[in-house]
A = this chain, B = another copy of it.
Amino acid sequence: MHNTARLRDFVQAFTALVNESDDEAYLLDAGELLLADLIRHDDWLPEAYSQPGLTEYRQFLLHCDPLERFSVVSFVWGPGQCTPIHDHKVWGMVGVLRGLERCEEFAPDPQSGKLLALGSHELHPGSIDLVSPRIGDIHRVSNGLSDAPSVSIHVYGTNIGAQRRNLYDPSSSAQQPFISGYANAEVMNLWDRSDE
């Protein structure tokens, strides 16, 4: 039995946060505590939302705020899989639930506009990375394991699957507009409490 109440409680607490404020720094601070609590336990995410694609990583919508003020997404990477270099154009939090993730940061060179690699680090389960146009918004995320999937739970300050943003070509630094969508046509029903 999955502990669906964990995700439902998180959604309700995060809804209360966005009802209080739309200040990015406040939401990242307070929201990070909620996300840390959610990813402390790996007993609530159904199988269907933790399967990588055959050839590519996948992103599954877990919850979208009805007013699109935030969304919660599970990202799943199989061995060898990584995202393209991309931005978000909104605040985001990456919390690792399972496995190991490698994050590489980039920023445009102020003179040439070419993308510069700023560095990289590894995220273990329970760790959280933050992004936004204010604090650094361009990165590439890959699976740090060669023999198992890695899964992280992301929260963004909008309906991220509908967000107009950009991919970046690593050699030319050329930008390409993209809208990611979601891998899933159906989301978890968090609201059937009849067996709780």
Contact = CB atoms under 8 A, between A and B. Distances in A.
Contacts of A186: 186-189
A12 B66 contact: yes
State the oligomeric state as a number of copies: 2
Looking at chain A's contact residues, the main secondary structure is: loop
B191 A184 contact: no
B194 A189 contact: no
A12 B184 contact: no
Interface residues of A, number: 31
A179 B195 CA distance: 9
B179 A66 contact: no
Interface of A: 11-12, 15-16, 61, 63-68, 71, 159, 161-162, 179-182, 184-195
Given A64-B190, A162-B191, A180-B194, 9 more contacts: A61-B189, A64-B191, A68-B191, A159-B191, A161-B192, A161-B194, A162-B193, A181-B193, A186-B187
